[in-house]
Amino acid sequence: MEKGKLIEFRRQGERRLAVTDRPEGKKDWIVLDEGGVAHKIRPQQVEYEIDGGSYKPSDIPSFIQQVKPYLDPSSLEVAWELLVEEGKAVSPSEMAQLLFSDQSPLLCYAAHCLLSEDKIYFKRKGDLYEPRSASQVDEIKHQIEVERQRHREKEAFLDRLQQALAGERVEWAESDRSRLEAIEKFVLQPEQPARAAQEILSWAGRSQTPEAAFELLVDLGWWSPHENLFLRRSGYPLQFPKKVLEVAQSCLISPPSDPDPNRLDLTHLKVYTIDDESTEEIDDGLSVEFLKHGKVRLWIHIADPSRLVTPGDELDLEARRRSTSLYLPTGMISMFPTVLATDPMSLVQGKLCPALSFGVVLDETGTVEDYSIYTSLIKPTYRLTYEDVDEMLELGIQAEPEIAALATWAQRRQQWRRSQGSIDIQMPESVIKVKADDEIVIELLEVSRARQLVAEMMILAGEVAGRYCQEHNLPVPFRGQPQPELPPEEELLLLPAGPVRACALRRCMPRSEIGITPIRHASLGLDTYTQVTSPIRRYTDLLAHFQLKAHLRGDSLPFSREQMQEILYSVTSSAQEATAVERQTNRYWGLEYLRRHADCVWQVLVLRWLREEENLGIILLEELGLELPHRFERPVSLGDRLKVQVYRADPHRDEIRFREAIGQVS
């Protein structure tokens, strides 16, 4: 190089023009830009040398202005079309001749600028530029268009984002879904990489944390303020697949032929269905048949969803995937599509209903004397609530002697099971319901004769079903529970009677077990037991129905022992996850209820210790049936009653703190 030479170099990726001023050392040069600022550069930093006479820094702005009119990138496409077939590489001066029919220094530099900035038609090869192949150009153009489309979608998304945050109604585009789902994933799986979500949070001016992501989704109206994160983190499906819904509609319009055409007609029996008022899946009904010599036959009728479901079909596999209906404070999520579960599968009052009926004769002690199982047809007579039945029993309604008989035999069954070693633990139990306006209602369930009646009849059906399957060597989901190691009676008597003592017993109870061979169920006092009374909402019950019904009609069993065992592994895992979701969701709404009632004073019972040396225990809010942790600030004993007030509650963080309300009135 020599003094006064106009060169192009790059500084931090930016194209710069400068005039050489003087050498610096053996190889370096000092150059002056248009502002007269000196830069030290090495020869390899020089991108292009403009031919021609001696330049001064003050010439640079004028030179740039003269070049600009020639910098039309589209002109390269014409040149590329002329050169691509030959595959000939060109220099900037040759390109200047081709584009402008001139090779002046200014136009050669313009050609250099076009070629060096081009990302579509030419690629650099030494000091020359080689035309790309037609296929390469097509692919590059496609990628550029894809990127432009992404940019347009991003800009449109940001517009909708701001509109939604401003409270305007927004129709989210399909392309928005992946972005919003990325934010969801960041909330649900904060330990996973979340670059896309954090980028969106940055666009929205929010901190890049899972908490901020949750708030953004709520502010956008994409999630509710009480979004069920436990449910979303679980594998439980929130929606039914389209194919399953289509099959459900087909069953409604054109039901499949009944695999059990020779059903026993029991429509002459009076059938009572007894449930909570809000129950939609009605899966059991009760009858009493008065026999000679003062004997009675108790009938437990169970809904027969397998009338519409075939092992291995779409409905069966979806129910297997779900394993159970979910009962959450915000509502039920059914194991089967609701249009089936609440109508043709349920025992609906006044309708002819297929059922699986268990007829049982008991002796005076409550022992099973005789039993039979039939696929049947029934016609439910009354739909009653537990409160209805309690009132009927209290008033002694003469027109319905069946109700009194059911209560009497239920009591005898309970006494018989106690004689067999059953363990009855009575703890306060509540139901949490969230209404449409997010109002939370907590109802404490009363121990009642009606609930005991229904519970005993369901256990009775489970016992005779287990006996039948054991006698005929049928692999079904048998339920059992190992014998617990209970504290000595004198030790239990030292504990206050009621919830404290019941809680101590409950802690001794081993987890129930499930397998394909009979096992004693210690807490029920039964040597064999299988659940069959909830096939609409519990998949293991449906499995038992499949096996039982096939055997009753003389068909081969739909599931071998190996198949049944394999299915139980997956179904049991899914059911445990669903139970955890129910428990966590109930706890969330319990804490939210307490948060909203922070000014209330609650009477609590010191239930048990977590770490007595740290004064950390579990208290029972007796009015609500909630068991929660509390650290005591003074010495207390199990069974003591205190008054507490919420000090801090954060349902999202699963945190609750109480302080004792000494001297305050509840």
pLDDT value at residue 294: 85
Quickly list DSSP for 263-285. -EE-TTS--EEEE-TT-----EE
pLDDT value at residue 286: 98
Max intra-chain CA distance, the chain: 130
The answer on pLDDT for 534 being more than 70 is yes
Q: What is the pLDDT of residues 355-373, one digit of tens each?
A: 999 999 999 999 999 999 9
The answer on pLDDT for 65 being more than 80 is yes
Instruction: Please report, rounded to a whole number, the percentage of residues in the chain having pLDDT higher than 90.
Output: 88
The answer on pLDDT for 58 being more than 50 is yes
CA atoms within 13 A on the CB side of 144: 10
pLDDT value at residue 14: 85
The rounded distance, in Å, linking the Cα atoms of 21 and 28 is 11
The answer on pLDDT for 550 being more than 90 is yes
pTM: 0.81
The answer on pLDDT for 633 being more than 80 is yes
* Mean predicted confidence (pLDDT) in 61-87: 92
Helical H segments across 529-618, by residue range: 539-552, 561-596
pLDDT band at 437 (very low <50, low <70, confident <90, very high): confident
On average, the pLDDT of the chain sits at 94
pLDDT value at residue 664: 45
Q: What is the pLDDT of residues 320-334, one digit of tens each?
A: 999 999 999 999 999
The rounded distance, in Å, linking the Cα atoms of 535 and 282 is 10
The answer on pLDDT for 662 being more than 80 is no
pLDDT band at 666 (very low <50, low <70, confident <90, very high): very low
The answer on pLDDT for 447 being more than 90 is no
Q: Residue 138: helix, strand or coil by DSSP?
A: helix
- The amino acid sitting at 464 is V
pLDDT band at 11 (very low <50, low <70, confident <90, very high): confident
Q: What is the pLDDT of residues 462-512, one digit of tens each?
A: 999 999 999 999 999 999 999 999 888 888 899 999 999 999 999 999 999
Report the 10 Å Cβ neighbour count for 647.
11
> Phi, psi at residue 441, to the nearest 5°?
-120, 125
The rounded distance, in Å, linking the Cα atoms of 269 and 405 is 14
Instruction: Give 408's contacts (C-beta < 8 A, 6+ positions apart).
Output: none
Q: What is the pLDDT of residues 560-604, one digit of tens each?
A: 999 999 999 999 999 999 999 999 999 999 999 999 999 999 999
Q: What is the pLDDT of residues 31-41, one digit of tens each?
A: 999 999 999 99
> Phi, psi at residue 160, to the nearest 5°?
-65, -35
* Mean predicted confidence (pLDDT) in 52-65: 91
- The amino acid sitting at 580 is A
pLDDT value at residue 663: 55
Q: Are 377 and 268 in contact (CB under 8 A)?
A: no
The answer on pLDDT for 665 being more than 70 is no
pLDDT band at 297 (very low <50, low <70, confident <90, very high): very high
Q: Residue 478: helix, strand or coil by DSSP?
A: strand
The answer on pLDDT for 645 being more than 60 is yes
Q: What is the pLDDT of residues 420-433, one digit of tens each?
A: 999 999 999 999 99
The answer on pLDDT for 112 being more than 80 is yes
* Mean predicted confidence (pLDDT) in 217-234: 94
Label each residue of 345-371 as H, E or C.
Answer: CCCCCCCCEEEEEEEEEECCCCCEEEE
The token pair that represents 544 in the structure block: 């038992």
